[in-house]
Structure 1
Amino acid sequence: MTLWDQLNSFASNINGPWCVGGDFNIISNVSKRVGGNPPNTNAMDDFNTMINDCNLNDIGFFGSPFTWNRANLWQRLDRCLFNNEWIADFAMTNVEHLSRTLSDHSPILLKINKINISCSYAFRFQNMWMHHTDFKNIINVNWSAPVFPDNNVNGMLRLWAKLSRLKQCLRWWNKNIFKNIFSNIKDAEINVTDLDNIYLNNSDSDNLSCVNKAKENLFQLQLQ
């Protein structure tokens, strides 16, 4: 494929951090597809060969597991790939799959942050994170990503590398996705009050359903 050849040529002629992202129009393995006919295994092999030859890495993502949908077919066609130098220089890089609107593709948001060593602080695991619906997915995606710079490292060194990376990921997730639990509760309480008033003025089943969902959300936040 012409694009794969161009990326291989680019990778062999550049020094320093680089990434490539967008709609590659191919999945990397069968788990990245639901519905439709069986995927083209030869095309997947060619795609994965290009990723390996260019020494690129998929660092995982936040959001829906699929970035493209049409009828009963869902696929992860869109992604960002990074070389080892990028991961070393921008360890706080994050990829998020945003919600689809008029397009059948999800927009991809790439956030790049330089680590400030002077502002480092102790990491503390919060038990309330485990009550968040996205928490297990965040752990699974980050833990299954390749280890930089040597994915063949084993034993305690591999465990240390994965825990160190996961720590940075959870710090970002806590600040940007989980956010402040007390502010979340306050907003949820206001939402329950507003929906209660709507249901009081119009006691139909749809409004009752909205009230019950809002109360369940408030209960989950209080549990956290």
Structure 2
Amino acid sequence: MVNNRPWFILGDFNVTRFLGEHSSGSSLVTSEMNEFNECKNQIEVEDIRSTGCHFTWTKSLKNPRCGTLKKLDRILVNDAVMNCIPQAHVIFLLYIISDHSPAILCIPGYIINKPKSFRFMNYISERGEFIPIVQKGRENQYVGCDMYCLLKKLKGLKKDLKQLNWINGDTFVRVNTLKQELKDIQIQIDSHPHDSAIKDKATKILLEYENAKHGEFLILQQK
């Protein structure tokens, strides 16, 4: 089947097709693998080029003795994609707390950045610095209609409120630190899937990260 229009197929394909797509090495060719390859060939698609994690699925994050990693998640494209968008590619991110790696499909030149709306977390309104910051923003004077002046004042508040949002004690710092540690050690696991010492450490960091995230969630729920 030949299709001149670019199209993508994204999904969790629970098959391994090539050597190196399973952490335990080669696996037997199953009927499901053959069917997958036959379907792929019939509709004329291939894996788009990718960077990031090689293995996109882990059987158990919290069991350091389980070394099963597989490449299951794929983004398949037809020839028209490579002809029309040659720079298109996918980035497989670290899975952090999921059993699957998130995938970012990058299509250069086809994504338009939109301005972000004005918003802030409710809990910062209880901080002592909040009212003075808002009062200072209200005192700024602009020339124009009422709506224009209001929008300018809100825009002026965005930077100060954003800074206030991220200087809220050790909980937020700890979440960011643990998240980076989790990323770093998952990179090591991706390269050394059978190293028990690394997986033991990853399990410990994961539990600490989940606890810190829960504490952060409670702070963000304040009204």
State the TM-score, normalized to the length of structure 2: 0.42
Higher relative contact order (CA 8 A, sep 6+): 2
More helix by share: 1
